[in-house]
Structures are given as C-alpha cells and as structure tokens.
Structure 1
Amino acid sequence: MKGFDLIAILLNAEFVRMLVHGVQMTLVIAFGSWLLAMSLAVVLLVVRLTPSRVAERGVIAYISYHQNVPTLVQLMLWYFGISSLMPNAVQGWLGEHNGEAVFAIIGLGLCQAAYFSEDLRSGLRSIPAGQAEAARALGHSYVSAMRHVLMPQAVRNALPALVNHTVSLFKNSSLAMAIGVAELTHAVKEVENLSFRAFEAYLLATIMYLAFSLLFMMAGAWLGRRARVAGAR
C-alpha cells in the first residue's frame, strides 16, 4: 500500500504543468463569467426599474429560471443543446478556439447574473428614497442619478452578498469539467489517474480552491472597509 507522499506529485514537472494550466483556465473562466454576469446584472436591474410591466416580468422570469435550474444542467444545455443549433461555421470556429471554455463562461455568466442582479436590487432598495429625490432636485437626470448617486451606494450596500456570490462563481467553475474544460478539477483528476495517488491529488485541489476562495473573501473585506471609509466622507 502506498504511503502518503505529496512531494511525489509536486516534484513531477508534468503534473505541475497540468495543475498550473488548470489553475489558469479556472481563473480565465471565473474572471470571464464574472465580467459577463456583472455587466448583465446591471442591465437586468435597469430594465426591471423601467415602468414597463412586460420588461419587469421578463427579468423576473429570467431570474427565476437561472435560480431554479441547476447550473450543471444549464452548462450542458449550452454545450450539447444550443451549440448544436448554431451554424456549422460557428461550430467550427468554436471547435478551433476552445469552445468548451466559451460555453462555460456564457453558461456560468448568465446564471450568476441573476444572483448579482438581485444583490444589486437589494442594495438599491436599502437606499432612502430621499437620495433619488435629492439627486433629481440637483439637476441629475435619471441615468446620471443612477450612475453618480444611487448605484455607488447600492454596490457598497450589496458588497457582502456580491463577494459571497463571487466565491460561489469561482467554486462553480469546477462544473466546467463536465463539458470537457481542462480547468483545475479536470487537471487534478488527470493527475490522480496518472499518479494513482487520489488522496494527495484531491488534497491539492482542496488546498488550492480554499486558498483562492479565502483570497477573494479577504479582497472583499478590504473593499468593504474602503467602501465604508469612502461612504463616511
């Protein structure tokens, strides 16, 4: 029976290369899907605040779908379902440009946008109504008031929830393995298959996911302190 030997993995150049590539791909997916999610979340929030009841119900339906359908199912729908409906030229381009990662970013980003939008809406609702009235009295248009007065406060109020969902997004990037993305979990599984050291391989994965999650939480705490100081001025 093999004894515990983590060094056997860390000293193997091929295993280290696989793990480093997995970390890089995980960060690319997490960062790309975060940008998509946050951009779309702002759009969803603005649309939901319009007087149109149809637009509001459309956003509510979007949020309900993405919050109640498992993320893994959404990824598979994009990769195996929606991709098959695309023109052959598009499918060929995706096949040559890491389409698995592209669909992972799209699927995770669209899903997480629902959560980010609700976080921002909660942060916006916590702002006293007088803030909007004061901004309009000072001559701000609706867009200007949202950009310069209301949204900065909404983001500051929603920051804890946004950080928590950012960490969840990073962890959910491991689901991309199911559609063939060579991210960290996929790399760890390959290392385990080649080294026959399951405990050591998954221990490394645990340590790396924990380390990155703690870094994100520490960055969020730092931003929270900076936001409180800025808000107190």
Structure 2
Amino acid sequence: MQGLDFSVVTPYLGLLWMGVWWTIVLTVTSSILSFFSGILFAVAVLYAPAVIAYPVRFFMWLFMGTPLLLQLFLIYFGLVQIGIDIPALGAGIIGLGLHFAVYNADILRAGITAVDPGQSEGARSIGFGRWQTLRYVVIPQAVRNTAPPIGNNMIALLKESSLVSVIGIAELVHAAQLAISETFRPFEFYITAAALYYILNLVLEAGLRQVEKKVEVSR
C-alpha cells in the first residue's frame, strides 16, 4: 500500500500557482459582473416597465432553479450551436457572473425596498429626478445595508469557480487534475488544492471584513 508523498507536488507548484492565478482572475471578474448585474436586475424588477421587468424575473427564476454546471454547459457548448462562440474563459466568467447576479439581485431588491422612503422624498425635494435618487441615494444605501450577504456570495463564487474546470479553464482544480494525470497521485494534489482554496478563502474573508468595517464607519 502506498503512503502519502507530498514531494511529488513540488515539481508541479508552478502549474498549481498558475491555477491559483486563474482562479483569482475568475473570482474577481465574475464578482464584478455579478455585483453590477445584480444592481441592474434589482432595479429592473422594481422599477422597469412590465415588458422589461417580467423577462428579468423569468431570467432570475431560471438561473435560480438550474445548476451552475448546466448553465456553464449551455453557455459554452450550447450557444456555439446557434452561432455564438464564446471562449472558455469568457463562458466561465459569464456563467459564474450571471449565476450569482440573480442572487445578488434578490438581496439588493430587499435592500432597496428597505431604504426609508423619507430618503427618496428628501432627494426629490432638492431637485433630484427618479433615476438620480436611485443612483445617488437609494442604491448606495442598499449596497451598504446588504454588504455582508453580498460578501457571502463572493465567497461562494470563489468555491464554485472550481466548476469551470469542466469547460477546460486552467484554474486550480483543472491544474491539479493535469498533475494527477501525469503522476497518478490524486490525494496529494487534491489536498494541496484544498489547502490553496482555504488560503484564498481566508484572504477574501479578511478583505471583506475590512470592507464591512469601512461601510459601518461610513453610515
């Protein structure tokens, strides 16, 4: 019976660090997309005409009710059949971003409706229009109030980024799988990948805590 031998990991550290880099790229870009798309979806559901609001509601319902893995397959393998060829990295970013955008939208929608109506009335009284009130008064307060759950979604996104390995993106899990295919030592590489994910998670949590502290100070 073979014992554990983590020395086999050393020659593949460069490959694993490249996987960490692409995991960070995926997480950051997808988080940005999910945040701003979430704001747009929330505003559309609450304030857009029915011809826009109902399709957005349907889109959110569809993405909440289907697995992320299936969504990635449809974006990467499905869209090409109708002439839309998206590179793997773009498909991964879009899939992750939209999947978490609908959850951010649900959180932000609740945050927007929770803002004191007096804030909007005060903004309108000094000459702000409806969209100016949303942009400068309501949405910033909603974002501040919902920062912790949105941060939790970012942490979940980091973990779920491992699923994009199925469409060939060389993130951390994909890098570990490449190393395993050459060494036939799955346990050592999966444990190493898990440790690296844990470190990334700790760094992200520390960053989010700093953001939340600044948000609390700015209230």
Normalising by structure 1, report the TM-score.
Answer: 0.88
Equivalent in 192, 196, 218 of residue 180 of structure 2: 192
1:16 aligned to 2:6?
no
Q: Which residue of 2 aligns with 1:206?
A: 194
One-letter amino acid of the counterpart of residue 130, structure 2 = Y
- AA matched with 1:187: A
1:106 offset after TM fit, Å?
A: 1.3
Partner of residue 153, structure 2:
165
Number of the residue aligned with 1:178: 166
Whether 1:3 aligns to 2:6 is no
Count of aligned residue pairs for this structure pair: 219
Structure 1: how far apart are the matches of 2:184 and 2:26? 28
Shift of 1:112: 1.4
Which 4+ runs in 1 deviate beyond 3 A?
none
Note the aligned Cα RMSD (angstroms). Answer: 1.6
Residues 39-80 of structure 1, C-alpha deviations (whole Å, 9 max, x = no match): 222221222222522322222111100100100000001111
Question: Unmatched 5+ residue regions in structure 2?
Answer: none
| Alignment correspondent of 1:127 | 115
2:23 corresponds to 1:26: yes
Range that drifts further, 106-115 or 61-70: 106-115
Q: Which residue of 2 is the match for residue 137 of structure 1? A: 125
Aligned to 2:104: 116
Tell me the residue number matched to 1:222. Answer: 210
Structure 1: give runs of 5+ residues left out of the alignment. Answer: none
**Letter of the aligned partner of 1:115 in structure 2?**
Y
- The AA in structure 1 aligned to 2:3 is G
Aligned partner of residue 81 in structure 1, secondary structure: helix
Q: Give the counterpart of 2:63 among 34, 52, 66.
A: 66
CA distance in 1, matches of 2:36, 2:30: 10
Q: Equivalents in 2 of 1:59, 1:51: separation in Å?
A: 10
Shift of 1:192: 2.0
1:78-89 to structure 2, matched below 5 A, reads: 78-86=75-83
